[in-house]
Structure 1
Amino acid sequence: MVTRTNFDNNLNQLKEMLMEMVRLSTVAVREATEALVAQDLEKANGIVKGDTKIDELEAKINEKAILLIATESPVATDLRKIIAALKISSEVERIADNAVNIAKAALHIGKEKHIKEIVDIPKMMILVIEMLECALKSFYENDTVLARECAKKDDKVDEMYGQLVSELLSFIPKNPTATNQITQLAYTCRYLERIGDHSTNISEQVIYVVTGKLYDLNT
């Protein structure tokens, strides 16, 4: 009983660290997008420099997971939970990297006047953050139904991505001098679309933990 209690406590610590990773990544994605829209270069630089905190958390999760496997010899569902935590931390770290990429896009554009008001990119950002938070909640609660609902939102993200990039590229012929800006905005859409994909991957890990089967929710 004591051993089981220790294992559960350590597993909960893993989940809490994942929650903190998601919190920091969510803030980074939101603030990077805000920096892009407001052309706040100071905030964008802060996002780039702040990425180390998330990297450090991922390293701690890896260390604790390896220690748990080595000392507790978990089997079946318990082992799947640890493996899932490792994979999810990797997905969240990549989400944070995409936030940094959005911040870098803001820096590349700088103070150049926007070719149009940026209203749809923030909408896309809100949707992918909802996906991320929803996916982690499904992991925390072992809820496969919620995990599938989260993944379904990725269709909308993909649809928005296609529409936005198509619209942005249509501006190039009439605004050739703004090609760099248009390209950076299109890249930003791609970074947000990738965040949706990473969130879907987290949902897949939830289903793996509960059922022991791997499902491709991107199809």
Structure 2
Amino acid sequence: MDTRSGFHQSLELLQTELLAMGNSVENLIHQAVDSLTRLDEKLAHDIIESDDHIDDYLTTIDELCLRLIALQQPMASDLRIIGTAIKIATDLERIADHAVDIARITLRFSGEELVKPLETIPQMAEIAKEMLRESLISYTERNVHRAATLAEKDDLVDKLYSNVMQELISMMGVDYNRNRQLTHLILVAHYLERVADHVTNIGEGVIYMVAGKRKDLNI
């Protein structure tokens, strides 16, 4: 096997690991919001325990990237691909952390009922998951246009975040327990807004990887 052939096989393995990590992270976001919506404590515990699995993905990807740099003598364009993979894995790990944050809030509501049915928060989660899928497709396709369109969906998540924050603040009164729960729901919305930001970071990485230019999608 020649050096470049081995390099490309290693890149394919790297991409496979990234996509598997991304799929796992997307599932965690779905499960986290589901655990909150249904106040499912067992599911919340499962999400928290699965965080180690995501960390394992990050370690594997970091090691693959370091091995590629050390053994394959990559060119400048290759280094952009490797550097982008490290950055994507880091953003995916942080998204998983936010899923865990939401699961911990589910556990804080133990023995309670939600002050209101959740509507906007699941909607934010659906858009964020769709963004994540699109970002990973843009990575595999090396599609700059697809990566750039993430900015529009990020704007939508920002608007929903602003709306839900205003709604929940308006519901606050003198009841401490009610206010505490509303505050935690605002935090959940904030975590999902941050998830969307991390996804746009992935899109920016894809654009840099393909075009060699940096573009800010979080404007």
Q: State the TM bucket, normalised to the shorter chain.
A: over 0.9
Cα deviation digits, residues 109-165 of structure 1 (max 9, x gap):
123111111122111100000001100110111000000112321000000001001
Shift of the 21–204 alpha-carbon distance from structure 1 to 2, 3 Å rule, reads same
Mapping for residues 85-164 of structure 1, pairs under 5 Å: 85-164=85-164
Distance 2:90 2:177 in 1: 38
How many angstroms does 1:12 deviate by?
1.0
Structure 1 length-normalised TM? 0.97
Distance 1:168 1:43 in 2: 25
Distance 2:162 2:201 in 1: 20
Mapping for residues 1-40 of structure 1, pairs under 5 Å: 2-40=2-40
Distance 1:30 1:190 in 2: 16
How many angstroms does 1:215 deviate by?
1.4
Q: Secondary structure at the match of 2:185?
A: helix
Instruction: Say if 1:91 and 1:202, in contact at 8 Å, map to a contact too.
Output: yes
How many angstroms does 1:175 deviate by?
4.2
Distance 2:26 2:111 in 1: 25
Distance 1:41 1:120 in 2: 21
Distance 2:111 2:131 in 1: 31
Instruction: Say if 2:173 and 2:179, in contact at 8 Å, map to a contact too.
Output: no
Amino acid at match of 1:64: L
Cα deviation digits, residues 71-120 of structure 1 (max 9, x gap):
11111211100000000000000000000001011111123111111122
- Is 1:73 equivalent to 2:73 in the alignment? yes
Amino acid at match of 2:14: L
Q: Secondary structure at the match of 2:173?
A: coil
Structure 2 length-normalised TM? 0.97
- Unaligned stretches of 5+ in structure 1? none
Aligned length, in residue pairs:
219
Q: What is the aligned partner in structure 2 of residue 199 from structure 1?
A: 199
Distance 1:157 1:123 in 2: 9
- Unaligned stretches of 5+ in structure 2? none
RMSD over aligned CA atoms reads: 1.1
Percent of aligned pairs with the same amino acid:
38
Amino acid at match of 1:162: S
Q: What is the aligned partner in structure 2 of residue 44 from structure 1?
A: 44
Distance 1:16 1:151 in 2: 25
Q: Secondary structure at the match of 1:50?
A: helix
